[in-house]
């Protein structure tokens, strides 16, 4: 690769710079998957050859590179900063230029380059936001710069009223996608330590759970878990009887137990979760895969079902189900099993 490129740049060659430029571009086009070193070599050769060539050769080289699936970003930025008569085909159709480079060109090269970027068949929400902020989202709809500056960036969809239907639909889809991305960003930025309004383990309860897990005291662990959930002992036992450990993991996440303590508890009661996968255990992977909001919803559903099935102790003593001689609900359940 290096020899082929360097041979084209030998001062002894009698070919004109235009021919050398086109030969270099043609050679680069023939590489299906250029390596990093080949991309770097092409970037080093292209700029001086391009600057020394005629405008016609420059346009031909840019048109050829606009069809290449891979172009060094340094070359993409260099081409994008050329006069619009040369750079337009590349800005309009090249799929090798990334979003950051497009935004840099739009911000530094002026309205003509931004218009060429707007003509691309598809734009990411990131680029659209940048164009809107530059008041260039609708550069070809008869709006003057003053009128565009007076428009609110949040009214970008209103500006599409005069766009043909296919273009309007595309921009509408991109706006929906942009809103979804913003929603996801807000979700990811949520403070998971904010548990206001959620059921939480007290320090004493968390310490007891860790102690009983260390000693593998399943009965005591279940009693403490039931107390933390304000549920019946049966619900805590049912959670622990899930041999996969998934239900206990959901419960511990819902109660806000420390990650390391939750991993330890799962590993003590479910030996298969102590198996190592790389540098972490299966318990770590199980906990890491749980969505906190989903765990809250599922555990609360279990608690509601438990409250429908089992009355609180004081009600069991004072309010028999079928009159004064009826058995408490737990006794009825045990009898039915017999």
Q: For each of the chain's 338 residues, which pLDDT tens digit applies?
A: 455 555 455 444 435 678 888 888 888 888 878 888 888 888 888 888 888 888 888 989 898 898 888 888 889 999 999 999 999 999 988 888 888 888 889 888 888 888 888 888 888 888 888 877 775 344 443 444 344 444 444 444 444 444 456 777 777 777 777 676 655 555 454 444 544 446 788 888 888 999 999 999 999 999 999 998 888 889 999 999 999 999 999 999 989 888 889 999 999 999 999 998 877 889 998 998 888 888 888 999 898 888 887 645 554 444 443 334 434 434 434 433 44
Task: Write the DSSP string, 194-226.
Answer: --TTS----HHHHHHHHHHHHTT-HHHHHHHHH
Runs of H (alpha helix) within 134-217: 145-150, 165-188, 203-214
- CB burial class (10 A; 0-12, 13-18, 19+) of residue 292? middle
pTM: predicted TM-score of the whole model, two decimal places = 0.39
Torsion angle of alpha carbons 279, 284, 285, 287, nearest 10°? -160
- Paired residues of 281 in beta bridges: 276
């Amino acid at each position: 690769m290096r020899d082929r490129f360097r041979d084209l740049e030998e001062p002894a060659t009698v070919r004109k710079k235009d021919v050398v430029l086109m030969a270099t571009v043609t050679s680069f086009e023939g590489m299906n998957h250029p390596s990093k070193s080949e991309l770097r070599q092409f970037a080093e050769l292209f700029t001086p050859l391009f600057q020394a060539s005629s405008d016609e050769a420059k346009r031909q080289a840019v048109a050829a590179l606009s069809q290449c699936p891979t172009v060094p970003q340094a070359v993409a930025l260099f081409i994008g900063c050329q006069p619009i008569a040369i750079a337009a085909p590349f800005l309009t159709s090249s799929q090798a230029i990334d979003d950051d480079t497009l935004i840099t060109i739009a911000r530094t090269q002026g309205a003509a380059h931004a218009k060429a970027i707007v003509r691309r068949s598809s734009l990411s929400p990131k680029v659209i936001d940048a164009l809107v902020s530059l008041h260039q989202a609708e550069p070809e709809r008869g709006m003057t710069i003053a009128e565009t500056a007076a428009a609110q960036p949040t009214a970008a969809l209103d500006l599409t009223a005069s766009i043909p239907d296919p273009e309007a639909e595309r921009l509408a889809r991109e706006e929906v996608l942009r809103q979804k991305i913003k929603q996801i960003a807000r979700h990811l930025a949520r403070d998971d330590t904010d548990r206001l309004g959620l059921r939480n383990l007290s320090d004493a309860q968390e310490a007891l759970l860790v102690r009983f897990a260390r000693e593998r005291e399943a009965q005591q662990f279940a009693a403490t878990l039931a107390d933390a959930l304000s549920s019946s002992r049966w619900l805590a036992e049912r959670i622990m009887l899930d041999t996969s450990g998934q239900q206990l993991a959901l419960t511990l996440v819902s109660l806000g137990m420390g990650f390391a303590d939750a991993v330890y508890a799962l590993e003590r009661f479910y030996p298969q979760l102590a198996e190592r996968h790389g540098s972490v255990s299966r318990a770590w992977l199980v906990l890491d895969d749980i969505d906190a909001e989903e765990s809250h919803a599922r555990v609360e559903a279990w608690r509601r079902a438990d409250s429908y099935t089992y009355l609180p102790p004081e009600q069991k003593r004072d309010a028999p189900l079928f009159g004064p001689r009826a058995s408490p609900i737990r006794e009825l359940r045990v009898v039915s099993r017999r």
